[in-house]
Structure 1
Amino acid sequence: MIDCHNALSYLKEHVKELGVRDDQIIVGGESAGGMLTAALCMYEKDRGGVKIACQMPLYPMIDNDDTETSHDNHSLVWNTKRNHVGWTKYLSGISGQEVPCYAAPARRQDYTLPPACTFVNTAEPSYAETLTYIDNLRKAGVEASVDVYPKLFHAFDMLLPFLKVRKHAAAQFEKLFKYAIKRYFAPQEGSAESNVRICDCDRHGQKD
């Protein structure tokens, strides 16, 4: 997660040469990358770091404790056994109350975080924790959306590119991204407003 923080800090410090807007930084990732996405938003908020405009944690692995969909899951690609192994290796001996939200975002109490867009499928371990994360954001007054796809497995969007549902998921996520870059802004403290445009939203036909 610290590597993500360092990369984000570099981005903020080099926005002009990279040609991006410092008031519209969006972070995202899938699976463990979704966990890092959520954790990074928490870390930056708590430390007054980089202002993040939007987060996109796709089917994120954010709860090291078993949930109703991860405790007895035998799905392809990612299941209960692999989930336990993954968390054990990642936490490296940390357990119980010692686990910080920067390692397992489900431990978080304060959900006043950047707006979120994500998707998940009903058959994978992270289904329940993804819905809980989105629900907690909404309860905190944060705009958050999740698209749910039935009876597929973890990372179906990468492993099954030929499926209609995968193409639909990709198209829907593209719409969400275009919506995000039109709606969400987070100016950096002590920074002049950027005059670099990453896209012409009207040209892309983005909906209000």
Structure 2
Amino acid sequence: MDHVARRAVAERVRERWRRGGPEMAETRDMSWHGLRLRLHRPTSDRPAPAMLYIHGGGWTLFSVDTHDRLMREYAARAGIVVIGIDYSLSPESKFPVALEEIAGALDWMEEKAESLGIDPDRILVGGDSAGANLAVSACLLRRDRHRARLAGMVLNYGAFAAEPTESYDAFDGPPFSLEVPEMDQFWSNYVDRPEDLANPLVAPLHAELHDLPPAFLAIAECDILAGCNHAMARKLAAAGVPTAAATYAGATHSFLEAMSISPLASRALDDQAAWIARVAADRDDRP
């Protein structure tokens, strides 16, 4: 299939996974620079901590619709506002288009915090797979542009580097939800040239990771990306970044989106919600 057809199928397949779940005090779609954003507010409390959530899909698939239930779960469980973004997809839009959009959206959240009803000092960024990649790279951009450090990063089974690891051999093939040829194609879609895969903003595992926000990494044990996630957790910690990493036994890539039927996914979301509440409280308690 071409990319347009694949996206349509992905939306249909994931439609049932976004049904149900927590109801919000407020849900609204917004437009920013021609991109769609969706805000979920679980209570009327203002100002509230907030998280920009970046959906996965290999920079190629998915949307705020496919990840709507997941975003509402974060909002309800952590008691935060969650804003999702439909960033420009590849291969039509190559690196660094989506990354600059994410960085710009974070700036916008800070600047419009009062009208959004959020606390500009308690903004997190999160994402899954390619979204986790964009989350870390956006924090690298913010650091190097001397923007304020965010309150935290929620990183779910991220694509942090293109090189194969031992998990590629262990968890490739039809029994698993992400296969090596598919991941290789996603990387190819995202960049103009193979040499770009060495760019630390494309592959943040290769970046200098000092002075980044605290991070929580949810690692799926049975995932070709498990190896690079373990490596990212080690490198963040070595760089002095407060890092929590949890490996969920038996989980495959994208397992969090099965929270409606999976006790393991629900437990992982509770783990992350408790961590989000802690880092938001730590930021709130600063002198």
Structure 1 length-normalised TM:
0.82
Summarize the Cα distance change of 1:70–1:184 in structure 2 as closer, same or farther, 3 Å threshold.
Answer: farther
Q: 1:18 corresponds to which residue?
A: 116
Q: 2:201 corresponds to which residue?
A: 102
Distance 1:71 1:123 in 2: 11
- Residue 89, structure 1, aligned to residue 185, structure 2: no
**1:71-124 deviation per Cα after TM superposition (whole angstroms, max 9, x unaligned):** 56225221211111111111222426x632111111113433111012111110
Distance 2:169 2:143 in 1: 31
Q: 1:47 corresponds to which residue?
A: 145
The correspondence of residues 105-120 of structure 1 with structure 2, limited to 5 A, is 105-120=204-219
Distance 2:267 2:103 in 1: 32
Summarize the Cα distance change of 1:89–1:11 in structure 2 as closer, same or farther, 3 Å threshold.
Answer: same
Q: 1:32 corresponds to which residue?
A: 130
Matched residues, number: 186
Q: 1:152 corresponds to which residue?
A: 251
* 1:160 Cα offset (Å): 5.4
Distance 1:125 1:67 in 2: 8
AA aligned to 2:230 is L
* 1:150 Cα offset (Å): 1.4
Distance 1:6 1:114 in 2: 17
Percent identical residues: 20
- Residue 162, structure 1, aligned to residue 261, structure 2: yes
Distance 1:164 1:53 in 2: 28
Distance 1:149 1:108 in 2: 26
SS of the residue corresponding to residue 24 of structure 1 reads strand
Unpaired segments of 5 or more residues in structure 2? Answer: 1-98
* 1:49 Cα offset (Å): 2.3
Distance 1:43 1:157 in 2: 27
Unpaired segments of 5 or more residues in structure 1? Answer: 188-192, 194-208
AA aligned to 1:148 is T
Q: 2:281 corresponds to which residue?
A: 182
Summarize the Cα distance change of 1:122–1:35 in structure 2 as closer, same or farther, 3 Å threshold.
Answer: same
Summarize the Cα distance change of 1:110–1:31 in structure 2 as closer, same or farther, 3 Å threshold.
Answer: closer
Query: Contact (CA 8 Å) 1:12, 1:50: kept in 2 or not?
Result: no
